[in-house]
Each structure stands twice: as structure tokens, then as C-alpha cells.
């Protein structure tokens, strides 16, 4: 496959690699009418969270009694409750319309903007139930108001009432969910959603985000509103098998050794795998692909990160770029007291630049960063 086959955006279908277990679990649970269990996907930036939930959404299309709606809080025009309510309402109605369960003959956006008499006429023609009608009326009224946090409740319950009215299950996927905490009174909004979620039984919620601290605040820590309400799923980088599968999909030769080398250098980051592919096409083997990537993109990726470090940190990081090291090794190489190195190491770990390996050895968290640094310092 040519370079154009590499994507920096979320992938689905034929481009989607691996993740069998988590996908299986998501699809099985979310597809089950009797289950109300939701999920919280978390993991580092660009590890593949959005791809997993989008792929689950695709797979769930095979179930005619399940309607899935996906909304990323990054895509809101502004971070306000009003923007969230409008986006959620529109996205729910659009999902039900697209599934054929809500036979509306107009675009949802137009529906919510039309005068109420017309909306009523349109909805009556679609033979939807009174409960849904009431809910749509509330949402319609809200369009013409400036505020009202309680409307988030109605918006969230619109999915539940659509589900009940159409004998379906409604899956609400909210990507980049922790963004909600940036809205004034965001945490209260989350608590309210939780309270509603507890009494719903035809809705399942899937949230996702990358910043551990904010996800802790909404779902993972004991004090958070969604604690034990959503099954946490830690999304990790690709396993070696998944990296092998990726390389097989994208290049003709599938040498296990080559794949191992690529896996080691990228740490199984699907984003790196795609990016390196885009730069190189993997046509000349892994060594050449990495070389091309570092030459073309290395500075873009790593320069800023490196420049942010203090002078002392830079020398330690440069030492670590040559491989795993003990504190003593580094101290000897840099002609510094061991205690000095020992003081800096926790800082580098905190910054996620270095990681502790077993038996008191340390290494860089990102092997490609080390590769780039070696190239730079050898010139």
C-alpha cells in the first residue's frame, strides 16, 4: 500500500489493527439489550482511544436494536453547557433519524430551529411517542433561551426516551469527556449526569479521555461521580503482535525481526507507526523508514521537548539516549556525584521523559526521542 494509506486521524474498518479483546468486550456489553453497563476508556495521548470507540460504533451498526451516538467535546463550538446540550440533542436525534427509527423528513438542525407549530406537525407525522415529543419540545424551547444547566438533564434523557419509544438501546459516546470540567460548574454537571444515569436503563455511556488527573476527577477515583458506574479500560500501546499485524497490513515483506525492531523503537505507539509510514512508506525496510522519519520529522517531534529541559537534565537525557543505565553509570559518564543524578531522576520520571527499569536501571520513555538525540549529537 502506498503512503496515502497512512492516517493521522482515527481509523476504522480495514485500516483498524488489533485491539481484539477490548473491542469484543465493548461490542458484547453495549450490544446487549439487558445490560446498562458503560465504559471509561483512558490512556496516553494518541494511543488509539478514539479509534477503538469509533470501531465499536461501526461494529454495533450490525445490531438493529442499538443506536449509537458519538460526540467529541473537543468539537464543541465553545465550552459551555448550552453548546454541550445543543450538540448532544442534535447528535441523538440525528443518530435516531439515521438509524431509520425516527422517520423525520427534515434535517435535525432545521427541525430545532423551526417554529414550534411546524415542529409539532412534523413530529406528529413521524408518529413518535408523547414522551419523546415532550422532550423535543423542551429542547426546542431551550434553543430560545440563554442558559439553564438543568437542560443538560433533558438532553441526556432524550436518548433514554428515544430508546424506550423505539425499543432500542441508546449508546452515548462522549470523547474527550474531561473537557467538561473546563465548563463553569462542570463537576456539578457531571454529578447530575451520574444521577440521571443511575435511573436510566436503556442508555449506556462510554466516555474517553487522555489526562489521567481529570479522568480521575470524573470517573476513576473513589470520590468521583462515575466511580464504579463505568468499567475502566486502560488503552495501552500496541503489543508486539499488533505491531506485526500493522506492518503486515502496510508492507509486502513481513520479517519478524524487522517488526520487532520497529516495535522496540516506537514502543508500539500506533501514532508513530502511522507517522513513520507516512514519511517512508516502509518500502525500504525498518532501518531506512526510521532514518527517513527522523530526518524529516525528528526536529518537529522532539526539539521542543528537549529544549524545555534544564541544562543538567539535558546532559542526563543525552547519557540515557545511549541505552539503559544505572545512576552510577550516568554519574561516572557525566563526572557528577551520584546524589546529584539521584535528585534529577525523579524529575525526569515525573516529566515522563525517563522511566525506571528493573534493578535500579533507567531509560528514556521514548526510544525514538533517544534515536533523534543520538543522531543530533553525533553530527
Ligand X SMILES: Nc1ncnc2c1ncn2[C@@H]1O[C@H](COP(=O)(O)OP(=O)(O)OP(=O)(O)O)[C@@H](O)[C@H]1O
Q: Which residues bind Mg ion (CB under 5 A)?
A: 50
**Binders of ligand X in range 112-141 (CB under 6 A):** none
Q: Which three cell numbers stand for residue 32?
A: 446487549
The reply to whether 51 sits near ligand X by the rule CB under 6 A is: yes
Select the residue interacting with ligand X from 49, 101, 202, 250 (CB under 6 A): 49
Sheet of strand 66-72: strand arrangement: 66-72, 169-175, 203-209, 38-42, 230-234
The reply to whether 329 sits near ligand X by the rule CB under 6 A is: no
- Min CB(206)–Mg ion separation in Å: 13
Identify whether the C-beta of residue 155 lies closer than 8 Å to the C-beta of residue 138: no
The reply to whether 45 sits near ligand X by the rule CB under 6 A is: yes
Beta bridge partners of 364: 354
Of 43 and 344, nearer to ligand X (C-beta) is 43
The reply to whether 279 sits near ligand X by the rule CB under 6 A is: no
Task: Kindly calculate the radius of gyration of the chain based on its CA atoms and give it in whole angstroms.
Answer: 25
The reply to whether 257 sits near ligand X by the rule CB under 6 A is: no
The reply to whether 47 sits near ligand X by the rule CB under 6 A is: yes
**Per-position DSSP letters for 23-59, written without gaps between them:** HHHHHHHHH-TT---EEEEE-STTSSHHHHHHHHHHH
**Per-position DSSP letters for 322-340, written without gaps between them:** TS-EEHHHHHHHHT--HHH
Select the residue interacting with ligand X from 161, 166, 210, 329 (CB under 6 A): 210
Q: First and final CA of the chain: distance in angstroms?
A: 34
Q: Which does 18 bind (CB under 5 to 8 A by kind): ligand X, Mg ion, none?
A: ligand X
Of 227 and 271, nearer to Mg ion (C-beta) is 271
Applying CB under 6 A, which part among 3-11, 91-99, 214-222, 308-316 lies near ligand X?
Answer: 3-11
The reply to whether 46 sits near ligand X by the rule CB under 6 A is: yes
**Per-position DSSP letters for 240-287, written without gaps between them:** HHHHHHHHHHH-S---HHHHHHHHHHHTT-HHHHHHHHHHHTTTT-HH
Helices (H), 45-185: 49-60, 81-98, 108-113, 116-125, 130-143, 151-166
Phi, psi at 204, each rounded to 5°: -125, 135
Distance of CA 120 to the CA centre of its chain: 38
Of 1 and 8, nearer to ligand X (C-beta) is 8
The reply to whether 359 sits near ligand X by the rule CB under 6 A is: no
Nearest residue to the partner ligand X, using Cβ = 48
Residues making up the chain, counted from first to last: 379
Of 50 and 367, nearer to Mg ion (C-beta) is 50
- Min CB(52)–Mg ion separation in Å: 9
- Min CB(152)–Mg ion separation in Å: 22
Of 47 and 348, nearer to ligand X (C-beta) is 47
- Min CB(206)–ligand X separation in Å: 13
- Min CB(114)–ligand X separation in Å: 35
Select the residue interacting with ligand X from 17, 190, 219, 364 (CB under 6 A): 17
- Min CB(350)–Mg ion separation in Å: 24
- Min CB(9)–ligand X separation in Å: 6
The reply to whether 7 sits near ligand X by the rule CB under 6 A is: yes
75 HSE (CA, 13 A, CB side)? 10
- Helices 256-266 & 286-307 angle (0-180, nearest 10): 0
Q: Which does 319 bind (CB under 5 to 8 A by kind): ligand X, Mg ion, none?
A: none
Q: Which three cell numbers stand for residue 202?
A: 436503556
Distances (CA, A) of 296 to 162, 280, 291, 302, 365: 51, 10, 9, 12, 22
| # chain residues binding ligand X, by CB under 6 A | 21
- Min CB(44)–Mg ion separation in Å: 11
CA proximity to 364, closest of 284, 273, 264: 264
Q: Which does 46 bind (CB under 5 to 8 A by kind): Mg ion, ligand X, none?
A: ligand X
The span from the CA of 64 to the CA of 137, in Å, is: 27
Q: Which does 16 bind (CB under 5 to 8 A by kind): ligand X, Mg ion, none?
A: ligand X
List residues near ligand X by CB under 6 A.
7-11, 15-19, 45-51, 210, 270-271, 274
Amino acid at each position: 500500500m502506498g503512503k496515502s494509506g497512512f492516517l493521522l486521524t482515527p481509523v476504522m474498518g480495514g485500516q483498524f489493527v488489533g485491539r481484539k479483546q477490548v473491542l469484543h468486550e465493548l461490542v458484547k456489553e453495549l450490544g446487549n439489550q439487558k445490560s446498562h453497563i458503560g465504559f471509561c476508556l483512558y490512556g496516553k495521548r494518541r494511543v488509539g482511544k478514539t479509534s477503538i470507540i469509533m470501531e465499536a460504533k461501526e461494529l454495533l451498526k450490525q445490531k438493529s436494536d442499538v443506536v449509537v451516538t458519538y460526540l467529541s467535546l473537543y468539537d464543541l463550538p465553545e465550552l459551555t453547557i448550552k453548546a454541550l446540550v445543543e450538540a448532544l440533542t442534535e447528535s441523538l436525534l440525528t443518530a435516531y433519524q439515521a438509524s431509520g427509527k425516527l422517520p423525520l423528513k427534515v434535517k435535525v438542525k432545521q427541525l430545532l430551529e423551526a417554529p414550534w407549530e411546524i415542529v409539532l406537525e412534523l413530529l406528529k407525522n413521524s408518529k413518535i411517542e408523547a414522551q419523546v415529543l415532550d422532550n423535543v419540545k423542551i429542547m426546542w424551547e431551550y434553543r430560545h433561551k440563554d442558559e439553564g444547566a438543568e437542560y443538560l438533564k433533558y438532553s441526556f434523557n432524550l436518548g433514554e426516551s428515544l430508546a424506550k419509544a423505539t425499543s432500542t438501546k441508546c449508546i452515548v459516546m462522549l470523547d474527550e469527556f474531561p473537557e467538561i470540567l473546563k465548563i463553569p460548574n462542570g463537576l456539578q454537571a457531571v454529578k447530575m449526569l451520574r444521577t440521571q444515569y443511575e435511573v436510566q436503563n436503556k442508555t449506556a455511556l462510554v466516555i474517553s479521555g487522555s489526562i489521567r488527573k481529570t479522568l480521575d476527577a470524573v470517573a476513576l477515583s473513589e470520590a468521583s461521580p462515575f466511580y464504579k458506574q463505568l468499567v475502566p479500560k486502560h488503552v495501552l500501546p500496541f503489543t508486539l503482535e499488533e505491531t506485526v499485524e500493522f506492518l503486515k497490513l502496510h508492507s509486502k515483506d513481513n520479517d519478524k525481526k524487522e517488526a520487532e525492531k520497529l516495535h522496540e523503537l516506537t514502543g508500539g505507539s500506533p501514532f508513530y507507526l502511522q507517522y513513520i509510514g507516512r514519511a517512508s512508506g516502509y518500502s525500504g525496510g525498518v532501518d531506512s523508514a526510521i532514518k527517513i522519519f527522523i530526518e524529516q520529522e525528528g526536529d518537529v517531534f522532539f526539539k521542543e521537548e528537549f529544549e524545555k529541559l534544564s541544562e543538567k537534565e539535558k546532559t542526563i537525557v543525552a547519557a540515557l539516549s545511549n541505552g539503559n543505565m544505572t545512576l552510577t553509570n550516568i554519574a561516572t559518564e557525566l563526572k557528577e556525584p551520584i546524589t546529584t543524578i539521584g535528585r534529577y531522576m525523579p524529575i525526569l520520571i515525573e516529566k515522563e521523559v525517563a522511566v525506571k527499569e528493573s534493578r535500579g536501571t533507567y531509560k528514556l520513555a521514548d526510544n525514538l526521542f533517544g534515536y533523534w538525540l543520538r543522531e543530533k549529537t553525533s553530527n
